């Protein structure tokens, strides 16, 4: 018992350390730009506009981290009240693909939905599942790392579940770190390579949302070849 307490304390310290590190990076860059502007940079219009834009980006990054932290806290406190309805997961996936089109174009990535049913009704919290899909698909786009990035989202209807898979042909994940990627703030590479828009909490949030639905998230990957994330949702029961 003493061991678990010590372990929890270590984990807590590591967590707080990670949070402050994540916040420090954008804060220091904001500080640097503001100081340069104060020291006369504001007179030069090109510098002024460029730095203001960078400050704006860093502020946005801070907001993303704080919002994700907030979400994680809610999930961990068990304050997650699901709003369960029946909806078409294929339609939701199509909407999210459209929403992420700009990011995908920038990475030259093609994102496609593959399904044998034109409608796949699930029984779940639509907004939270949208969050799951956004996190998985934007990771797939970001970590695509090749010229012909292909991201395929597959849905298949089983007896009483719908199976959803997000597959990419990107950089993949080393087998020894696969079990750790769902931890809060776990980073594979040095902090420099952390995704600009990412908070390091994306997959932790995915895991929480699916656990609240009594489902697991699965991952398979071949390093340097790609990654595949999958989960199931309850199929909507027909009331006809
Ligand atoms: P972030 O992307 O902000 O770092 P996440 O929790 O979304 O945080 O992901 C954790 C880590 O898992 C990432 O830093 C990345 O190393 C790895 N990862 C996630 N998705 C993929 C993917 N599709 N391909 C390769 N690596 C991935």
Residue 190's pLDDT is what?
A: 46
CA distance linking residue 84 with residue 81, whole number of Å = 9
Residue 188's pLDDT is what?
A: 59
Q: Pairing state of beta strands 218-222 and 226-234?
A: antiparallel
Distance 207 CA to ligand 1 centre (A): 13
Atom 17, ligand 1: which residue's CA is nearest? Answer: 181
CA distance linking residue 226 with residue 240, whole number of Å = 42
Q: Report which DSSP code applies to 238.
A: P
Q: What tokens appear for 150 in the block?
A: 């292909």
Average pLDDT of the chain?
90
The pTM (predicted TM-score) of the whole model is: 0.84
Residue 192's pLDDT is what?
A: 41
Containing H/E element for 234?
A: strand 226-234
**pLDDT exceeds 70 at position 157:** yes
Distance 240 CA to ligand 1 centre (A): 42
Does residue 168's CB lie within 6 angstroms of at least one atom of ligand 1?
Answer: yes
Distance 178 CA to ligand 1 centre (A): 10
Mean pLDDT of the 11-28 span: 85
pLDDT per residue as tens digits for the range 29-55 = 999 999 999 999 899 999 999 999 999
One-character DSSP codes across 37-93: HHTTGGGSHHHHHHHHHHHHHHHHHHHHHHHHHHHHHHHHTT-----EEEEEHHHHH
Atom 23, ligand 1: which residue's CA is nearest? Answer: 140
pLDDT per residue as tens digits for the range 182-237 = 987 776 554 444 566 677 889 999 999 999 999 999 999 999 999 999 999 999 98
Q: How confident is the model at residue 145 (pLDDT cuts 50, 70, 90)?
A: confident
User: Of all atoms in ligand 1, which is nearest to the CA of residue 203?
Assistant: 6
């Amino acid at each position: 018992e003493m061991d678990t307490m010590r372990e929890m304390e270590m984990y807590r310290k590591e967590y707080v350390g990670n949070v402050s590190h994540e916040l420090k990076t954008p804060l220091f860059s904001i500080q640097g730009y503001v100081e340069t502007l104060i020291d006369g940079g504001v007179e030069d219009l090109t510098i002024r506009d460029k730095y203001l834009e960078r400050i704006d980006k860093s502020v946005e990054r801070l907001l993303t981290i704080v919002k994700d932290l907030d979400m994680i806290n809610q999930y961990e406190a068990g304050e997650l009240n699901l709003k369960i309805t029946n909806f078409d997961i294929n339609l939701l996936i199509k909407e999210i693909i459209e929403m992420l089109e700009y990011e995908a174009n920038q990475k030259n990535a093609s994102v496609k939905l593959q399904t044998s049913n034109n409608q796949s009704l699930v029984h779940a919290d639509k907004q939270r599942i949208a969050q799951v899909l956004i996190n998985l698909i934007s990771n797939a786009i970001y970590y695509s790392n090749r010229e012909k990035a292909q991201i395929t989202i597959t849905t298949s209807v089983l007896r009483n579940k719908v199976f959803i898979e997000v597959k990419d042909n990107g950089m993949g994940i080393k087998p020894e770190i696969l079990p750790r990627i769902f931890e809060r703030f776990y980073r594979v590479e040095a902090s420099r390579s952390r995704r600009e828009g990412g908070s390091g909490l994306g997959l932790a949030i995915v895991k929480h949302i699916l656990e609240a639905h009594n489902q697991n998230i699965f991952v398979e990957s071949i390093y340097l070849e790609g990654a595949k994330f999958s989960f199931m949702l309850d199929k909507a029961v027909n009331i006809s």
